[in-house]
């Protein structure tokens, strides 16, 4: 009997080559506010939702803004991001992404998305992988964002699978913490010295093979 009944995927940096596009949009906004973001800041923003990211950036720059100003700034960043991803096609999937989804489907596993991104549903369509998903967890429908476990628990609930029968795949520190605190097995995509709480780490999606975990 396989160890899992579902695979829960993050999107940005796992299936879509968009993590650096989010960061480029934040850097642009940061420069406009006089806040320079070092390349190392990208790791801190991965998996963190839009307003949470803005808060980290403002705190980093020692800049204070009202709630209304923050809403406008977050919208501006989202405009930069959506303009940059507007032309994405299936060619922009990360190498191995479609194969990994097909491996999960062929193994009879449920497939759900657990992405913090409000832009995830249209991006899945653009990338041509939406039909491979059984469910998409809505980040607006859960109480606490990553690193809280809520979004991964919601994804598991949507496909009707107990957390301990779920494999979660993530490229962010925040996301790996969510998966582990949800009581699931975590596969990190990236650097094992960064994704220290992951149960397994592979360098890129191209090296991820679902069969290795069944």
Where on the chain is the footprint of Mg ion (CB under 5 A)?
Answer: 10, 12-13, 171-172
Instruction: Report the residue number, 49 or 181, with the smaller CB distance to ligand G6P.
Output: 49
Q: Is 119 in the site for ligand G6P (CB under 6 A)?
A: yes
Confirm if 117 and 124 have CB atoms less than 8 A apart: no
Is there binding between residue 46 and ligand G6P (CB under 6 A)? yes
Beta carbons within 10 angstroms of residue 188's beta carbon: 26
Q: What is the DSSP letter of 149?
A: S
Please choose, out of 29-37, 39-47, 87-95, 186-194, the segment that lies near ligand G6P by the rule CB under 6 A.
39-47
133 near 110, Cβ under 8 Å? no
Q: Which is nearer to Mg ion, 150 or 171 (CB)?
A: 171
Longest dimension (CA), the chain: 56
Q: Considering only residues 131-160, where is the footprint of ligand G6P by CB under 6 A?
A: none
106 classed as catalytic: no
Task: Return the axis-axis angle of helices 19-32 and 67-85, rounded to nearest 10°.
Answer: 130
List 113's β-bridge partners, or say none: 9, 136
Catalytic site includes residue 10: yes
Residue 22 touching ligand G6P (CB under 6 A) = yes
**Catalytic one of 12, 49, 150, 171:** 12
Q: Which residues pair with 201 in a beta bridge?
A: 188
Contact in structure between 3 and 50 (CB atoms under 8 Å): no
45 binds, among ligand G6P, Mg ion, none (CB under 5 to 8 A by kind): ligand G6P
Whole-number Å distance between alpha carbons of 162 and 183: 9
d(CA 24, CA 84): 10
Which of residues 78 and 206 has its CB atom nearest to ligand G6P in the complex? 78
Residue nearest to Mg ion (CB): 13
Nearer to ligand G6P, 115 or 126 (CB): 115
- Shortest CB 187 distance to Mg ion, Å: 13
* Residues tagged active-site: 10, 12
What residues make contact with ligand G6P under the rule CB under 6 A?
A: 12, 19, 22, 45-50, 53, 78, 115-119, 172
């Amino acid at each position: 009997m396989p160890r899992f009944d579902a695979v829960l995927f993050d999107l940005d940096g796992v299936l879509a080559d968009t993590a650096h596009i989010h960061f480029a949009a934040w850097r642009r906004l940061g420069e406009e506010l006089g806040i320079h973001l070092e390349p190392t800041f990208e790791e801190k923003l991965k998996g963190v939702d839009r307003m949470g990211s803005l808060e980290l950036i403002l705190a980093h720059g020692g800049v204070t803004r009202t709630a209304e100003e923050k809403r406008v700034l977050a919208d501006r960043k989202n405009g930069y991001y959506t303009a940059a991803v507007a032309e994405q096609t299936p060619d922009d999937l990360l190498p191995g992404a479609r194969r990994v989804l097909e491996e999960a489907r062929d193994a009879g596993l449920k497939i759900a998305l657990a992405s913090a991104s409000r832009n995830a549903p249209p991006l899945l369509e653009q990338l041509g992988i939406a039909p491979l998903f059984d469910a998409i967890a809505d980040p607006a429908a859960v109480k606490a964002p990553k690193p809280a476990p809520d979004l991964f628990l919601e994804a598991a609930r949507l496909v009707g699978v107990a957390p301990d029968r779920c494999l979660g795949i993530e490229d962010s520190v925040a996301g790996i913490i969510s998966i582990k605190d949800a009581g699931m097995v975590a596969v990190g995509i990236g650097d094992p010295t960064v994704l220290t709480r992951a149960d397994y780490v592979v360098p890129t999606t191209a090296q991820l093979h679902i069969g290795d975990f069944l």
